[in-house]
């Protein structure tokens, strides 16, 4: 996965902050302006608030600000953290969508004191009389769906990246394991290939010598080391002469 561009992260932060702030502002207008006008048709807003002021009830300004203000503040802080690189693009989008998702229940709580005051002052029901609150609930529903889709996409990408990393980690071991048997196999067959060629001349070399050569070579050292005129020297010379004559006689018979 490639790292998100800082420009895209800042854009998501700005858009998210504007969306959350707009949601909170529209909720406040719905609570203090649109719904009172729809509750008392034909009356001006100033007259409605004057009528409420003559009673001991209030329109719940303090609770409304306490519930609606943290959303935009949190969105602005999150956007600033994302612009500084402390939050990823996915995390920033999830936080913004989460704030919009929680806007619907927060609106219901923030509008409760004003609705009860209007109901007690004018003798009507305490529910919303203006239909514009449906826009807020629809936006929160869309935010829920978008957040769920984003979580699923993020989970799939994380699982794919983890599987790819695991495959890359095991790839060198498999490659080395495949090369080692080939190396051992070559080493095992190498001596068998060169052994017959190396020993063949040595095996046939003795066949080129004749018996006469070996006989003369066997008696030559004895004659060479015997003292001149001694009995051993005479015997050795006689044996050599006899061997030579015998060899010549054998060659003559072979020629016939």
Distance separating alpha carbons of residues 245 and 251, to the nearest angstrom: 10
The two three-digit tokens of residue 32, written as one number: 């203090």
Residue (of 23, 210, 35) closest to 127 by Cα position: 35
Cβ neighbours of 92 (radius 10 Å):
24
Half-sphere exposure of 87 (CA within 13 A, CB side): 21
Give the residue with greater pLDDT, 140 vs 249.
140
Q: Are 82 and 89 in contact (CB under 8 A)?
A: yes
- pLDDT tens, residue by residue, 44-67: 999 998 898 888 788 899 999 999
pLDDT of residue 20: 97
Distance separating alpha carbons of residues 228 and 234, to the nearest angstrom: 8
Residue (of 100, 111, 101) closest to 133 by Cα position: 111
Give the residue with greater pLDDT, 189 vs 164.
164
Most confidently predicted of 89-93, 119-123, 193-197: 89-93
| Residue partners of 74: CB distance under 8 A and separation at least 6 | 20, 95, 99
Any alpha helices (H) in the chain, and if so which ranges?
Answer: 6-29, 35-39, 45-53, 61-68, 70-83, 89-101, 103-122, 133-204, 211-225, 231-255
The two three-digit tokens of residue 50, written as one number: 């004057």
pLDDT of residue 165: 79
Look up tokens 């080395």; give the residue: 176
Q: Are 170 and 178 in contact (CB under 8 A)?
A: no
Q: What is the widest separation between alpha-carbon atoms in the chain?
A: 166
Instruction: Please state, rounded to an integer, the average pLDDT across all residues of the chain.
Output: 76
Indicate whether 194 pLDDT > 60: no
pLDDT of residue 172: 58
- At 198, the pLDDT band (50, 70, 90 cuts) reads very low
Indicate whether 6 pLDDT > 60: yes
Residue (of 155, 24, 40, 30) closest to 100 by Cα position: 24
Length of the chain counted residue by residue: 256
Indicate whether 199 pLDDT > 70: no
pLDDT of residue 188: 41
What's the rounded mean pLDDT across residues 13-37? Answer: 96
What's the rounded mean pLDDT across residues 189-196? Answer: 44
Indicate whether 223 pLDDT > 60: no
């Amino acid at each position: 996965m490639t790292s998100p561009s800082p420009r895209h992260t800042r854009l998501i932060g700005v858009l998210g902050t504007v969306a959350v702030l707009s949601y909170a502002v529209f909720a406040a207008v719905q609570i203090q302006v649109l719904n009172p006008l729809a509750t008392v048709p034909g009356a001006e807003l100033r007259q409605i608030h004057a009528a409420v002021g003559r009673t001991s009830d209030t329109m719940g300004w303090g609770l409304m600000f306490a519930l609606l203000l943290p959303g935009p503040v949190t969105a602005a802080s999150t956007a600033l953290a994302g612009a500084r690189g402390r939050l990823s693009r996915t995390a920033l989008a999830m936080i913004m969508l989460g704030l919009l998702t929680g806007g619907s229940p927060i609106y219901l709580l923030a509008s409760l004191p004003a609705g009860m005051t209007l109901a007690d002052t004018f003798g009507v029901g305490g529910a919303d009389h203006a239909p514009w609150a449906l826009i807020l609930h629809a936006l929160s529903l869309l935010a829920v769906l978008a957040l769920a889709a984003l979580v699923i996409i993020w989970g799939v990408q994380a699982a794919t990246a983890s599987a790819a990393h695991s495959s890359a980690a095991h790839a060198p071991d498999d490659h080395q394991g495949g090369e080692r048997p080939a190396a051992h196999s070559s080493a095992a067959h190498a001596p068998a290939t060169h052994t017959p060629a190396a020993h063949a001349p040595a095996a046939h070399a003795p066949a080129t010598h004749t018996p006469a050569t070996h006989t003369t070579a066997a008696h030559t050292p004895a004659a060479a080391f015997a003292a001149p005129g001694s009995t051993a020297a005479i015997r050795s010379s006689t044996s050599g002469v006899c061997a030579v004559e015998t060899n010549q006689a054998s060659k003559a018979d072979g020629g016939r």
